Structure 1
Amino acid sequence: MSDIQKIDDLITRAKVFYLATVDGDKPKVRPLGFHLLYEDKIYFGVGTFKEVYKQMQANPNVEIAAWDEEHFLRYYGVANLEKNDAVVEKAFELMPDIKQMYEDNGWEMGVFYLDKATAEIRNIMAVEETYTFEY
């Protein structure tokens, strides 16, 4: 199993994970549920009309946090907000209700992956594994 697959598997086991951004000088954290391992990158998706997307445009330094009831993940780096229609289509295949909602409202799904990233798999006391990813 590759390093990025280990991280994706932990996020999958966690089911809900959290994205932290910066809004001006204040942290903002929200739960997310969608992630997709595609071409050796973990992609996440949020609406381009949402404040979270605007926050990442203004300051792309973000962190993902997850807990799978055994390990805690800190996955942080620079959000690469690339336009990737293939990833958006795969996301909508996995979430047809979300696709319908976006189509009905004329919304656009924005996808991103973390570049210049570090992933730490931790127990309650220490870092057990560390991985870096640069694309």
Structure 2
Amino acid sequence: MSDIQKIDDFLERAEVFYFATTIGDQPKCRPFGYHYLEDGKIYFTSATFKDVFKQIQANPKVEIAAYDGDKFLRYYGTAKIVKNDRVVQRAFEELPELKEIFEKFNFELGVFYIDNATAEIRNEMSIEESYTFKY
């Protein structure tokens, strides 16, 4: 199993993870759930009109925190916004209600991954595993 697959599997076990951005000097954190591993990268999505997407554009430094019932994950780095129609199509296949809303209101689904990233799997006291990802 590759290192990035380990991180994707952790997010899958956690089901909901928390995605943090900043606006000025104020951190903002919200629950996320959708992620998709393709070509050695974990992709995330957000509507381009949402504050989270605008915050990524203004300051791409981001962090994810997740808990799988046993261990914690910290996954942080620089969000890279990309065009990836396969990820959008996959999101719409997995979440058809999302597709209906986006088509009805002509919304755009933005896609990004985390580059120059560090992922740490931690127990209560220390880091058990650490990985870096540069694309």
Into which bin does the TM-score normalised by the smaller protein fall? over 0.9
Q: Which residue of 2 aligns with 1:71?
A: 71
The alignment status of 1:126 with 2:123, answered yes or no, reads: no
Aligned-residue offset at 1:18: 0.6
Q: Which residue of 2 aligns with 1:25?
A: 25
Q: Secondary structure at the match of 2:82?
A: coil
Aligned-residue offset at 1:40: 0.8
Aligned-residue offset at 1:60: 0.1
TM-score, normalized by length of structure 2? 0.98
Q: Measure the CA separation in 2 of the matches of 1:17 and 1:105.
A: 27
Q: Which residue of 2 aligns with 1:16?
A: 16
Q: Measure the CA separation in 1 of the matches of 2:36 and 2:17.
A: 13
**Length, aligned pairs only:** 135
Q: Which residue of 1 aligns with 2:95?
A: 95
Aligned-residue offset at 1:83: 1.2
Q: Measure the CA separation in 2 of the matches of 1:45 and 1:124.
A: 30
Instruction: Show structure 1 runs of 5+ residues with no match.
Output: none
The alignment status of 1:7 with 2:7, answered yes or no, reads: yes
Q: Which residue of 2 aligns with 1:108?
A: 108
Deviation string 1:3-27 (CA, Å, 9 cap, x unpaired) is 0000000000000001000111100
Deviation string 1:81-105 (CA, Å, 9 cap, x unpaired) is 1111111111111111111111111
Q: Measure the CA separation in 2 of the matches of 1:48 and 1:94.
A: 19
What is the one-letter code of the residue matched to 1:134? K
Instruction: Show structure 2 runs of 5+ residues with no match.
Output: none
What is the one-letter code of the residue matched to 1:57? Q
Q: Measure the CA separation in 2 of the matches of 1:78 and 1:134.
A: 10
In angstroms, what is the RMSD of aligned CA positions?
Answer: 0.6
